[in-house]
Each structure stands twice: as C-alpha cells, then as structure tokens.
Amino acid sequence: MVLTIYKMDKSPPVRAVFMTIEVLKIPDVKYVDVNLLEKENLTEDYLKMNPQHTVPVMKDDDFSIWDSHAIAAYLVTKYGKTSSLYPTDPKKRAVIDQRLHFDSGVLFPSLSRLIEPVFFKGEKAFRPDDVEQVKTAYGFVDAFLSKSQWLAGDNMTLADICCVATISTLNEAFPVDEKAYPKLSAWFNRLKQQEFYKKRNEPGLAQIRAISQKMLSG
Ligand SMILES: N[C@@H](CCC(=O)N[C@@H](CS)C(=O)NCC(=O)O)C(=O)O
C-alpha cells in the first residue's frame, strides 16, 4: 500500500496536507513534485487524476482524491489513531467543517486575489480593495477565536491546520496586525511554536516569502 502526495511545496493547501501527515505521524509517504509553471498539472495523466488540475492530490493505492480539506479529512479517518483532529461528534465536526469551508470559500480566494496581480501580472503593490478583503477575513478569524484558543473549540483540529496554512501565507503579503486582531495574532503565534508547523509549513512558506520580497521590491 503506497500513499502518494502530488505537491508543490509553496502551495498553502499542500502545506496543510504536509502538516496533517506530520501530526498523524503517517510513515512511508511518497511525494511527487508537480511543477505548475511547467504545466505538469495539465498532462493527460494528471487530468485523469484531477480534472481541476490543482495540487495537492492524494493517491492511496488505486484511490485518488484532490482538495486539501478532503485529503486531510480522509487521512484522519483512515490513519488517525484518535479522531481529535476531526471528531465524529456531529456538532464538533460541523464547526470544523464550517471553518474548512471558510478556508476554501473566503481565506484562500482572498489570498489568490491579493497576490495574483503582484506575483503574475507585474504590479508593484497590492490593490487596496484586495487588502480590505483580507482585513475582513482576518476580522472573521479573530471573531471565531473569541471564545476558544483554537478555531473549532478547546483542541487543535484540522480547522487550525488548514487555516494556518493559508493565513501564514497571507501574513507574508499583508502581516497580521497584533493590535487589530489580538486573538488571531495569539493563535498564529501558538501555531508557529508547534514542531509540525516549523517542519512542514515553514520551508514552503520561506519560498513564498522570497518571491513576495522580490516582487514587491523590484
Ligand atoms: N481548494 C483547493 C485549492 C487548490 C489550489 O487551488 N491549488 C493551487 C496551488 S496553491 C493550484 O494547484 N493551482 C493550479 C491550477 O489551478 O491550475 C485545495 O484546498 O486543495
């Protein structure tokens, strides 16, 4: 049985899957690099696995699935010795699912919208409207954290892992202001101290940092 992840290290959803694998301590994972600039995600074989041509994709024997949130949930269900990252209790799981959909529907689109003009269209500053959208998203996360230390309750869950992959990337472009978003800032600092974050999020994030600095300075 071989678990394979098709990946590009700087991608936030890929890093969410990396961190999930690290927390679950899944051994013997095979990694395959997919170079998006070289259009390796548009080959016939890749499109057969994932017609949406995104990374990450996970293959577990003859089963394949894409979308970091679906992959992370599958990994916990199949490989998690305990289910605390994604509990089966309907209410607890519903809160986690809401945060995961928030990541897909609000955080990640805010990130794409913010960085694309600078990273891919040669603009030298972020557009004010896009920055406003990021501020709104940060405000939502701060509100989610008003009653608990973690995004979906008193324990760290997939909600924290998936959202921090995106937020740490947003933070490289538009840093989280500790005064404006104190709860978000404290949560982010808490995650930055975790070994799984240092080992599996930080390296890809450093690549984003380098690109961001180059694009904004040039
Ligand atoms: N919701 C997806 C987003 C995946 C995604 O958009 N990945 C980007 C890289 S960060 C990608 O593969 N883009 C290439 C493309 O859309 O063709 C997930 O969580 O996996």
Residues touching ligand 1 (Cβ under 6 Å) are 11-13, 36, 41, 53-56, 67-69, 104
Above 70 in pLDDT, residue 218? no
- CATH number for the domain spanning 213: value is 1.20.1050.10
Same domain, 69 and 151: no
Alpha-carbon dihedral 146, 151, 155, 158, rounded to 10 degrees: 180
Task: List, for residues 67-121, the tens digit of each pLDDT value.
Answer: 999 999 999 999 997 779 999 999 999 999 999 999 999 999 999 999 999 988 9
Structural domains in the chain (count): 2
- Give the range of the structural domain holding residue 159, as residue numbers without chain letter: 90-217
Q: In the annotation, is 11 catalytic?
A: yes
For position 55, what pLDDT does the model report? 98
Residue finishing a domain among 18, 49, 79: 79
- CATH number for the domain spanning 27: value is 3.40.30.10
Q: Is the dihedral of CA 121, 33, 192, 138 positive or negative?
A: positive
Return the residue matching tokens 């180059």: 214
Same domain, 125 and 51: no
The closest residue, in CA terms, to atom 2 on ligand 1 is: 67
What secondary structure letter does DSSP report for 67? S
CB 137 within 8 A of CB 104: no
Q: For residue 205, how many other CB atoms are within 10 A of its CB?
A: 20
What secondary structure letter does DSSP report for 31? E
Residue to mutate (ligand 1; options 6, 7, 9, 11; most atoms within 8 A of CB) = 11
